Amino acid sequence: MNYKKQILVILYATFHFCVLMGLTSCAAKQDLRPGEKDAAFVALADTQIVIEANQNTRGLPMYRLGFGDEIEVKVFNHPEFNEQTIIRPDGRIALEKAGEIVAIGRTPHQIDSLITKRYSRFLRRPQVTVLVRKFGVKQFYILGEVKNPGVYELYDGMTVLRAIASAGGNTGYAQMNSIILMRNEFYRNPIVMRMNLTNLPKDPNPVRDRLLIANDIIYIPRTYIGELNGFIERFVSKLIAPPLDLYLRTILYTRILN
């Protein structure tokens, strides 16, 4: 139990270290919630796309702002309040008139409402529009028993199993029935999930595999036999001749399996 707690503490610290160092950022598809009054504009490359509020977007996930996203705030008939800002590594934006606002994990519509409320102190019925001008880079982290652990770019449709493949596959000592996925989707308390991906390619129901979102951390622990083998390699093999070393491994593995 203490071993599992140590793993979770390490993952939690790793996540926040990456955030504070500005290594993580988030990007996803722009979407609107049904019933919004104003149109939203998304600048993608050099083309501006207008998404009308009356379009049928039911069932589609709403885009939530991430690290490194560049947003523009416009106030109708009050250009002196217009600003353009980037979401900082701490998840906040700073506006001259509205102060600091936690933007990470919120939709543009929610930021619109927060800014409108603050500008109501200075203006009468302010009409605020929040535009996402540029998306940050989406990344995820994979640690533990994979051949190439590290930071990888997150593409649409990336799952835990595909992430493992992107990292060169798992090692021979990967504990695939106890994979840990840590997620901090709304920049509050992290969500830690334990996954069992053994025999998943043969499973006709892929519900056990999960889609990744930006800044997810995947940790694949080492099996008990892997830990034991590492112990033998580090300590026992230095004291015992190779034939006896192999004999000792065989005895220990047989007892474990039985």
Using N-to-C axis directions, what is the helix angle for 224-231 and 242-257, rounded to 10°?
A: 160
Cβ atoms of 228 and 252 within 8 Å: the answer is yes
For 9-38, the pLDDT digits (tens) are: 555 555 554 544 444 433 333 343 433 433
Tell whether the model's pLDDT for residue 55 goes beyond 70: no
How far, CA to CA in Å, does 254 sit from each of 130, 229, 231, 235? 64, 13, 17, 20
For residue 169, the tally of other CB atoms under 10 A from its CB is 11
Tell which phi-psi region holds residue 59, choosing left (phi > 0), alpha (psi between -120 and 50) or beta: left
For 73-112, the pLDDT digits (tens) are: 999 999 999 999 999 878 889 998 889 999 988 899 999 9
User: Measured between alpha carbons, how far is 55 from 52 in angstroms, rounded to an integer?
Assistant: 6
User: Measured between alpha carbons, how far is 74 from 131 in angstroms, rounded to an integer?
Assistant: 8
Tell whether the model's pLDDT for residue 148 goes beyond 90: yes
Q: What is the pLDDT of residue 59?
A: 55
Cβ atoms of 119 and 81 within 8 Å: the answer is yes
202 pLDDT band (50/70/90 cuts)? low
How far, CA to CA in Å, does 81 sit from each of 28, 42, 119, 129, 195? 27, 20, 9, 11, 48
**Would you state the structure tokens that stand for residue 39, as one six-digit string?**
């149109």
Q: What is the pLDDT of residue 207?
A: 60
Find the helix or strand (DSSP H, E) in which 41 lies: strand 40-44
